[in-house]
Amino acid sequence: MLCDPIMAAQLNGYAHMKSLGEGSFGAVTAVKRRDDISRKPELFAMKIFLGKNTERFDAEIKVLEELKGDCANIVQLIHGSREKFPYVLVMEYVEKEFGEPEFQKGLSPERAKKYFEHLTCGLGFMHGKLFVHCDIKPANLLLTKNGKES
């Protein structure tokens, strides 16, 4: 990895809490605001782009900004920064992935219907804004602590 997630968080006013994953674009890490000294600080997900090619970053931030604030079923962008390298997106922290083992056991029909309704609501909102999600898979379906799907 070209950049330490701890350093990336600190450069942007956050404190690294834990790594959440890595991909071809870079890394995702859980962060809190550096000045938040509460016992239960609010967590955010920081997506750290490590490539010098900014096209993917620019495309993702454009989509997230267009979708910001209007749909409870879409992870919300807090802010994005391309002012200094590495480029970062700070987003709402979402607790669980739908693909985690507890969901692989199967769902009741009622729970599956509820999740599917939230999924189609989010996708319908995106399609209404003329965006298409090109990577729908269990790992990209997320649940907040209170069970809200994003």
Q: Please list, in sequence order, all residues whose beta carbon lies within 8 angstroms of the beta carbon of residue 106, skipping any fewer than 6 positions away.
A: none
**Furthest CA-CA distance within the chain:** 48
Q: Which of 25, 28, 39, 23 is nearest to 5 (CA)?
A: 28
Closest CA to 88 of 18, 20, 26: 26
| C-beta atoms surrounding 128 within 10 Å | 10
Q: What is the pLDDT along the chain (150 residues), one digit of tens a residue?
A: 456 777 778 878 899 899 888 877 788 899 999 888 788 889 999 998 877 767 888 888 889 999 987 788 898 999 887 777 788 999 999 877 666 666 677 778 888 898 889 899 999 999 999 999 888 887 778 876 655 555
**pLDDT recorded at residue 85:** 75
**Whose CA is closest to 51, among 83, 87, 84, 19?**
87
Q: Is 18 annotated as a binding residue?
A: no
The reported pLDDT for the residue numbered 142 is 82
Q: List the domain boundaries for the chain.
A: 1-93, 94-150
Q: What is the pTM of this model?
A: 0.80
- pLDDT, residue 82, reads 76
Domain 1-93 has CATH 3.30.200.20: yes
Q: Give the side-chain half-sphere CA count within 13 A for 63.
A: 16
